[in-house]
Structure 1
Amino acid sequence: MMKKTPIYHEQVQPLPDYPRLCGEQRFDVCVVGGGFTGLSAALELAKAGFRTALLEAAQLGSGASGRNGGQVLTGLAPAMVTVARQLGHAHAQMLWDLSVAAVATLRRGLAEADMADAFRPGFILAANRAAHRAELVEEYNYLTDRLGYGALELLLQPEQIAARLGTRRYVAGLVDHGSGHVNPLAYLNGLARAAEKAGVTIFEQSAACRFVHQPGGEKVNVYTDRGVVRADRLLLCGNAYQRHLATPMQAMIMPVGTYILATAPLPEALAAEILPSGVCVSDMNFVLDYFRMTPDRRMLFGGRVSYSGLPPVAVAHRLKRRMCAIFPALDGVPLTHCWGGKVAITRNRLPHIGRTPQGVYFAHGYSGHGLALSGFVGQVIAKAIAGDLTQFDCFARIDHR
């Protein structure tokens, strides 16, 4: 029977169970959300000497951070030429540089956790039709000539991209040698272990039901069903799973369901034909397909979305049909896992990061492009809480109106 949980859980050393919050506890900072943003923020805050509590509604990594496609990408969800048109070149340059730093930060974190080999380099943005070629060329020129990025390779002939991907489905591609892929749960568990070692107090099964500001300032009481955290500062980073708090910033995001399937391990000969370059891939359709090969030769194939809150009918069958249209040789390969859940998108597909007038920090809406960026943003917010707003302001002044 096909499993409905991410394959990642079977490929990593599990974390211990963390206690539920009970009673009243006092901390300098309360972080709500046990994904990349929350864990990285909590880790940096603890390193800086802040007594930090992290509240997770279920288990660490149970949201998008622990079940995404594993693609570690530079940039943002929209093309950078689009970002520049929306925000101007100077702002686009700063955001691009921060995204490159985000990938470097993730890789450095893996190395510090003795997991440097977990990162597999290379990403290809694949053009589905001839009309996409002009978009690839425009993006390549902007990234190289205007943003000064030197890790790109442009494949404009169908035979060039076919040689990299083992399929003739695509007509062109843009290779980013600075991006790559990783088991996201391995990265998350490494963050959790580092955070705990640094002194972060982690609570699981402790959903934040509401928060109330204490009189006369930014101090806040965060309530769960069994306890309360009294803190000087609050960071909300529950992404698509925090709408019940009914804060004004939640109106800026929309939860969207997205889904991934995993095949059984492929025979070596077949795996050598499919994705011979070892890169991860995303196409250029509005509802995109994305895929990569795992170290144990499983094809992970993602796509399909649901805006209704309900999973699509026969989602595994639909994903397999799309996968086999790209790689017909996979038609007879068994499927072992198919899972899904919510991500949060914004109207302009740019992350929504900021601070409310009452002093509550928040970060969400990475729009499917958050594996590297979200962990980095956690560090940026930790620096902001400590008084350094330089990088934070670059994100906070993105216009979401």
Structure 2
Amino acid sequence: MPSPSTSHVGSYYAASANPSPERPGLQKEIRCDVCVVGAGFTGISAALHLAEKGQQVVVLESARVGFGASGRNGGQIVNSYSRDMDVIEDKYGTDTAKALGDMAFEGNRIIRERIKRYDIQCDLKEGNLFAACNAKQMKGLVEHKALWERFGNDQLELLEGQAYQREIGSKRYTGALLDHSGGHMHPLNLVLGQAAAFESLGGVIYEQTPVTDIAQGEPVRLTTPQGSVIAERVVLAGNAYMKGLMPSLEGKSMPASTQVVTTAPLSEEQARDILPNDRAVEDCNYLLDYYRLSGDRRLIYGGGVSYGGQDPSSIENVIRPKLEMTFPQLKGVKIDYAWSGNFLLTLNRLPQFGRINDNVYYAQGYSGHGVTCTHLAGRLIAEIIQGQRERFDVFAGLPHLPFPGGRLLSVPLTALGGWYYRTRDALGA
């Protein structure tokens, strides 16, 4: 029986997951073309792309498929990156912004392609909203719409003034931007469905199989507690759950925790009152709230960040005031599930892609914007392993500085920054 630390957390997603086998751990030495470390969105996306190209791929997972952020997140299909193309253009130039902009909406399309091709049942719904909490944020949404249209997204609708209330039954906002190309889904079922698709193509996944050592060379040897893998290529996709395996990557990133609750099922009238068209929503605060309805009419509401990956003493006490401020009509609603999960921050809030010794690849640090970008990462990793390096190298060329003082000092410093931005959010600055 798996220990609690390597089983899925007690989330709504785990409780409502589609049937999936418990895969045995690795207990022998094996060989393969590519070994992927981590069975979340990045790892499974890369593995599936590679298997479709005929590669012999093995995935090693220290816990269960979708154990980390991929099986715990808000389930929102939001386009682009944690830093948008205007920031990228200012810092890294027009060519880099154009290259990244050309890929900014691709992860969304990959998700939908996977769902359709492999008939993945994950409660896919259409549309997501960015909700402005003040006039300054609304002005930002007008600019955001123009920016995304410049990079090819023509499915955006600005909801000015009270027009947003056709989508959100709350008086908290001053307007919203609706992205009709976005959406939401059950994230754990999405990754489980892709894992099953990968296995249907001959791929192999070993759960409860942490990697304890990587001996770099040609080939690479990966050691596990009861076995080993000899692989021509390796993909590191553990993200926030890869502590100690590759120390050279850790100084340039920091785990952070976010909290999520799920209510008891709402009545049809309640659900229609708060989210009439069943869209996903995130606000425009720096420390944002995000929410949506599940397939069985529960409100899934997330928010709050704990730097360093530490959980608050009561998740419900953190989230309930936010939920009830947004939807006073749900005051006192029963909370059935509350959980947290780690994601990985980078200093510039852009993902880190790269290579180590030419045959070890990594992708990490999506900074809270990983659902779509992980799926793009999987495709780009598959491309570079197949000899097409141009698109991967655009990301790999982004400079990434370490957090000042390493992780020991970065947690209090980043928490101080979080306090600053929380104050700015509260003041509408």
Quick check: TM above 0.5? yes
The CA deviation at 1:133 is 2.0
Distance of 1:245 and 1:224 partners within structure 2? 12
The CA deviation at 1:318 is 1.8
The CA deviation at 1:171 is 0.8
Quote the RMSD (CA, aligned, Å): 1.6
1:391 maps to a residue whose letter is R
State whether structure 2 residue 20 is matched by structure 1 residue 15.
yes
State whether structure 2 residue 157 is matched by structure 1 residue 153.
yes
Q: What residue in structure 2 maps to residue 312 of structure 1? A: 312
Residues 120, 194 of structure 2: 8 Å contact kept: no
Residues 4, 338 of structure 1: 8 Å contact kept: no
Map 1:256-267 onto structure 2 (within 5 A). 256-267=256-267
Give the number of aligned pairs. Answer: 394
Q: 1:345-371 deviations in whole A, cap 9, x for unaligned?
A: 111111111112353100001111111
Q: Give the TM-score, by structure 1 length.
A: 0.94
Map 1:131-170 onto structure 2 (within 5 A). 131-144=136-149, 146-157=150-161, 159-170=162-173
Residues 122, 189 of structure 2: 8 Å contact kept: no
State whether structure 2 residue 40 is matched by structure 1 residue 30.
no
Residues 81, 139 of structure 1: 8 Å contact kept: no
Q: What residue in structure 2 maps to residue 185 of structure 1? A: 188
Q: What residue in structure 2 maps to residue 367 of structure 1? A: 367
**SS of the residue 1:374 aligns to:** helix
Distance of 1:93 and 1:103 partners within structure 2? 18
State whether structure 2 residue 64 is matched by structure 1 residue 59.
yes
Distance of 1:149 and 1:89 partners within structure 2? 18
Map 1:229-240 onto structure 2 (within 5 A). 229-240=229-240
**SS of the residue 1:135 aligns to:** helix
Q: What residue in structure 1 maps to residue 205 of structure 2? A: 202
The CA deviation at 1:116 is 7.3
Q: What residue in structure 2 maps to residue 243 of structure 1? A: 243
Percentage of matched positions with identical amino acids: 38
Map 1:48-87 onto structure 2 (within 5 A). 48-87=53-92
**SS of the residue 1:9 aligns to:** helix
After superposition, the Cα gap between the structure-2 partners of 1:233 and 1:92, relative to the gap in structure 1 and judged at 3 Å, is: same
Q: 1:186-234 deviations in whole A, cap 9, x for unaligned?
A: 11111111111111111010001110123xxx32110111111111111
Where structure 1 has 5 or more consecutive residues not aligned to the other structure, the ranges are: none
Distance of 1:54 and 1:131 partners within structure 2? 46
Residues 78, 372 of structure 2: 8 Å contact kept: yes
Distance of 2:186 and 2:87 partners within structure 1? 29
Where structure 2 has 5 or more consecutive residues not aligned to the other structure, the ranges are: 1-7, 402-429
Residues 74, 96 of structure 1: 8 Å contact kept: no
**SS of the residue 1:355 aligns to:** strand
Residues 352, 364 of structure 1: 8 Å contact kept: yes
Q: Give the TM-score, by structure 2 length.
A: 0.88
Distance of 1:317 and 1:142 partners within structure 2? 37
Q: What residue in structure 1 maps to residue 220 of structure 2? A: 220
2:25 maps to a residue whose letter is R
Q: What residue in structure 2 maps to residue 339 of structure 1? A: 339
Q: What residue in structure 2 maps to residue 400 of structure 1? A: 400
Distance of 1:345 and 1:263 partners within structure 2? 28
State whether structure 2 residue 133 is matched by structure 1 residue 128.
yes
